[in-house]
Amino acid sequence: MSAAGEREVEIKLALASAAEGRRMLEAGGFRLLKARVFEDNTLFDTPDRRLRAAASLLRLRQAGDAVMLTFKGPATYEKHKSREELELRLSDAVLDARLLARLGFEPVFRYQKYRTEYGEAGAEGVVTLDETPIGDYFELEGAPDWIDRTAARFGFREADYITASYAALYFDWCRQRGVEPAGMVFPEAVGTVQ
């Protein structure tokens, strides 16, 4: 996660399973930085989809007791994805989405995951293990050289790099299976109100 005003640089790597990811992290000497937490994310946009047209997003994330409001600007895609990220940690346990509605935003997509964060002493980045309804992934975020070295240590090649968002991965997953997109949520969350 980048500090306010910084650019995030990241890739995702698809895993066969979360257990495989944990074995790779342990074998690589990574240590737990943040315990596994459930994240519920909602993306917001204006009714005319102004943010989407500008290749930007506004996200509300509840992760355990933490609530974050994040703006992400347009991304550049090369080997890695890079974009401006402004994040505000909120003191309220829950941000009432009515506040965003009053500002002209409406929910447009919801996605969930379990995230565990790992790192190494003195490293220039972090590895998160994301368990999602459509599969398990590493997300490597940090300095580009660190991302490349770390991916190679895990046995991945540049051809394995994923720069797509979870929303894009979800819509592609739905297309491949002939499933009508509804939201990337775990089965027990279907029908719940955000």
Q: Note the pLDDT tens digit of each residue in 148-164.
A: 999 999 999 999 999 99
Q: How confident is the model at residue 37 (pLDDT cuts 50, 70, 90)?
A: very high
Asked, for residue 192, whether it belongs to a domain, the answer is no
Asked, for residue 132, whether it belongs to a domain, the answer is yes
Number of folded domains that form the chain: 1
Asked, for residue 193, whether it belongs to a domain, the answer is no
User: 137: exposed, middle or buried (C-beta count within 10 Å: 0-12, 13-18, 19+)?
Assistant: buried
The length of the chain in residues reads 194
Residue matched to tokens 């930085």: 33
Asked, for residue 88, whether it belongs to a domain, the answer is yes
Q: Torsion over CA of 186, 188, 193 and 194, rounded to 10 degrees?
A: -40
Asked, for residue 110, whether it belongs to a domain, the answer is yes
CB-based contact 154:13 (threshold 8 Å): yes
Q: What is the CATH number of the domain that holds 54?
A: 2.40.320.10
| CA distances for 5 relative to 21, 66, 85, 144, angstroms | 31, 20, 6, 18
Asked, for residue 17, whether it belongs to a domain, the answer is yes
- pLDDT of 120 reads 92
- pLDDT of 192 reads 43
Q: Is the pLDDT of residue 29 over 90?
A: yes
Distance (Å, whole) CA 109 – CA 123: 33
Asked, for residue 73, whether it belongs to a domain, the answer is yes
Asked, for residue 56, whether it belongs to a domain, the answer is yes
- Which range of residues forms the domain containing residue 93? 6-187
